[in-house]
Amino acid sequence: MHKEKLEMKTLSLGIGWLCLGLSLDAWSLSGRPIEIVGEEGTEKQVRGQNLLKRARRGWMWNQFVLQEEYTGSDNQYIGKLQSDHDYGNGLVKYILSGEGAGTIFVINENNGDLHATRRLDREEKAFYILRATVVNTQTGHKLEPETEFTVKLHDINDNEPTFSKEVYSGSVLERSDVGTSVIQVTATDADDTMYGNSAKLVYSISQGHPYFSVDPKTGVIRTALGPGDMDREQKEHYQVVIDAKDMAGQRGGLTGTTRVNITLTDVNDNPPRFTQSIHQFRVPESSKSGSLVGRIVATDRDIGKNAEMHFTIVSGDGMDMFDISTDKDTQEGVITVRKPLDFEKKPSYTVEIRVQNTQEDPRFVTPGSKDMTTVRIAVDDVDEPPLFNKASYLMEVKEDAAVAVAVGSVSAIDPDGARSMVKYSIDRHTDMDRRFSVHPANGSVFLLRGLDREETAWHNISVIATEFNNPHQSSHVPVYIRLLDINDNAPTFAIVYETFVCERTKVDQARS
């Protein structure tokens, strides 16, 4: 009895280190019951010759385990297939079939020893399903039904972690609180996640301290410094290197690496500032409304919408004379003329201009977030043409007025400080018949020819005023002359009338 138990254990140990979940049924040799060692809670012993025997099982294996990446020169031994019909007399032949039978896996047909012929990779194929039977070498009859078993590859840590991307890109607002999430990186390991720690990963940061940290379990990258240290205007781009180590980070584990490019995105934490405290410009007094006076520049360390500016004239004696707007492309303040300027009336103006952001962040607004500058604008004198005292003139004269009679007068002066002398003339394009003239010195308009209201009731002419010192400076004014009617035409019949009367017609008798 002791000898039989010893043989059974020896056989079990011979394959047990290569088997998982091995379950052995009790069987007897020479009709005598044996003792088997089973799992906790199962029957420990079968004693006595007269007890009922357990059902006999032909095969003594269930699943083999084979280590992957075998590097030996000989075929790798897997285990032994043993039938209770094999009495060692050479009459039993073991036959193998299934996945890889005869190529990857071979069996010694005489003793059931199972070998692998080449190096196997669990990550390519984790297990193989095979079938085996035994036959009588003399008769060829099967001594056992064909039974299926599994060869499972035992994982070793032969794969380093790999990240889903070689380079990640992430961003986070500048001045974010400590612990603000930036981006999550993910690595995977091709080794067996169900066995040991070969695929258990731990993340760590090897470059990027002290600005960022990484959660060792999840791979989430977070800010590690406070708002005052994460300033885009000081440093905008960071390169962080993250390692993923298997074996739960223990010594001897394999490591994969990825790079993460992190950009601090802008918040409106900088107010605009003028580049000069005082600006000076000159503008001709002849400038029209909307004419450019000059541009003022303010700078903002922020970017995009956070750097957009709004300019306002807040005080000064030129508030009503000038406007300011923002050039959307350059963010400069554009000063323009609002009302007509007159050097002789006011030769200079001063205005105070304020600049501020169009979109302010209340978290960063401070009393100094608005900047001011002084703008002085000098009005340059321009040699202007003579200016008539009226925009147009209306004159009346009787149609029978004699030649050289004055119809009326016009008046113009040089608006410049020099007060140049002015001479007058008729624009002959408006008086082709030369009916009128004007005194060159005093502007009196008089007749050159007689007029007839019944011929032309109105005469529209233009008078020119020209500077003596600068003939190029001249101006025109329209003069409308209305002719007043006099009784200088007798009545006339429209047609010649003819009539007839009978010779015997009585006095006062109407013709019928």
Let me know whether 219 and 314 are in one domain.
Answer: no
Give the C-alpha separation, 136 to 307, whole Å: 93
From 328, 348, 380, the end of a domain falls on: 380
CB atoms within 10 A of CB 441: 10
Largest CA distance in the chain: 192
Let me know whether 21 and 143 are in one domain.
Answer: yes
pLDDT for position 413: 94
Q: Which residues of 381-420 are buried (b: 16+ CB within 10 A; e: fewer)?
A: beebbbebeeeebebebebbbeeeeebbbbbbebbbeeeb
- Would you call 177 helix, strand, or coil by DSSP? coil
Write out the residue range of the structural domain in which residue 248 sits: 162-265
Let me know whether 148 and 55 are in one domain.
Answer: yes
Nearest-5° Cα angle at 166, 165 to 167: 90
CA–CA distances in Å: residue 104 to residues 94, 115, 132, 265, 394? 17, 8, 15, 58, 122
Let me know whether 437 and 454 are in one domain.
Answer: yes
pLDDT for position 62: 61
Let me know whether 237 and 312 are in one domain.
Answer: no
Give the long-range contacts of residues 144-148, CB within 8 A, separation 24 or more.
Answer: 144/58, 144/59, 144/83, 144/85, 145/58, 146/97, 147/58, 147/59, 148/98
Q: Is residue 506 part of a domain?
A: no
Q: Is residue 489 part of a domain?
A: no
Let me know whether 12 and 71 are in one domain.
Answer: yes
Give the C-alpha separation, 421 to 414, whole Å: 7
Q: What is the CATH number of the domain that holds 311?
A: 2.60.40.60
pLDDT for position 231: 94
Judging by beta carbons within 10 Å of its beta carbon (0-12, 13-18, 19+), is residue 446 exposed, middle or buried? middle
Q: Is residue 509 part of a domain?
A: no
Q: Is residue 360 part of a domain?
A: yes
Q: Is residue 505 part of a domain?
A: no
- Domain tally for the chain? 4
Give the C-alpha separation, 262 to 224, whole Å: 13
Give the C-alpha separation, 68 to 286, whole Å: 95
Q: What is the mean pLDDT of each run of 10 residues along the chain (512 residues)?
A: 32 29 29 29 35 41 74 84 86 92 92 90 87 91 89 81 96 95 94 79 95 97 93 96 92 92 95 96 95 97 94 97 97 97 94 94 74 96 91 95 95 87 95 95 95 93 94 95 88 83 74 58
How much is the CA Rg of the chain, to the nearest whole Å? 58
Give the C-alpha separation, 315 to 374, whole Å: 10
From 329, 348, 380, the end of a domain falls on: 380
Let me know whether 147 and 7 are in one domain.
Answer: yes
CA–CA distances in Å: residue 244 to residues 160, 204, 241, 247? 9, 7, 10, 10
Let me know whether 14 and 115 are in one domain.
Answer: yes
Let me know whether 140 and 203 are in one domain.
Answer: no
Let me know whether 318 and 401 are in one domain.
Answer: no
Let me know whether 239 and 185 are in one domain.
Answer: yes
Let me know whether 356 and 395 are in one domain.
Answer: no
Q: Is residue 510 part of a domain?
A: no
pLDDT for position 437: 96
From 154, 189, 206, the end of a domain falls on: 154
